[in-house]
Structure 1
Amino acid sequence: MKWSITFYNVNVQQEIRSWPVGIHADFLRLVQLLEEFGMDLRMPHSRAMGKGLFELRCKGSEGIGRAFYCTVKGQNIVILHSFIKKTQETPAKELRTAQKRLKEVKNG
């Protein structure tokens, strides 16, 4: 059975759609892998960030994008937050946003 992918809200979906074409294309490729392999998807495509939060690691000639996600009941994955990476480390603000949304999704 395939995993299903949804977005936290329409803004997250629109943010990803606005990414540069190469990064967006890699996101679409990785989402296909995520639908097929779910939580078995690992580095270099996905990385655990702790406490049930994961990041999808998208790359293109234009740079790097990150999409944070989690699982909910059954084989459902929610894309919580996304951003274009401009520094080596994940900015604390981006991680806090994803963690906040993770709590909302998990706790209702």
Structure 2
Amino acid sequence: MVYMPYNIYKGDYMTEFKLIAYEKENGEVPVEQFLDSVNPKMRAKIFGLLGILQEKGNMLREPYSKHLDDGIFELRCKFGSDITRVLYFFYYEGKIILTNGFVKKTQKTPKEEIQIAKDRRKDFIERVMKDENI
């Protein structure tokens, strides 16, 4: 389990939401790989939106976040003419699991990307249930 580098404080308490990047069994972290692959200015914008997501959690709405299908959400980022998405789902105790990211090239979010997020959610939950150190 890889924790994203955010600690946002509100008043006298820390925000309840915690961003976690999904980690494959082989140790790869797809969201980190995606973030490393994008333009530094886009990456900075995505990090800013991740901070907003961590603060607002399930209260974040369009234009920043949108529910796609079956509990999978997208974090929506645009910088210049480039559009990126980071897909995520909510888990117990205020955890937000970031599953994958991609550069958007079509009007609709590709079904393949949504399916990847669903598959990773399934894997994450199965591994948590087996009490793996996730």
TM-score scaled by structure 2?
A: 0.73
In proportion to residue count, which structure has more helix? 1
Count residues in correspondence. Answer: 108
Identical-pair percentage: 34
Residue of 15, 19, 25 corresponding to 2:38 = 19
Distance 1:93 1:50 in 2: 12
One-letter code aligned to 1:43 = E
How large is the RMSD of aligned CA atoms in angstroms?
Answer: 1.5
Higher relative contact order (CA 8 A, sep 6+): 1
One-letter code aligned to 1:42 = R
| Equivalent position SS for 1:80 | strand
TM-score scaled by structure 1?
A: 0.89
Residue 106 (structure 1) shift:
3.3
| Equivalent position SS for 2:44 | helix
The answer to whether 1:6 aligns with 2:1 is: no
Residue of 85, 107, 119 corresponding to 1:66 = 85
Structure number with larger C-alpha Rg: 2
State the match for 1:56 in structure 2.
75
State the match for 2:97 in structure 1.
78
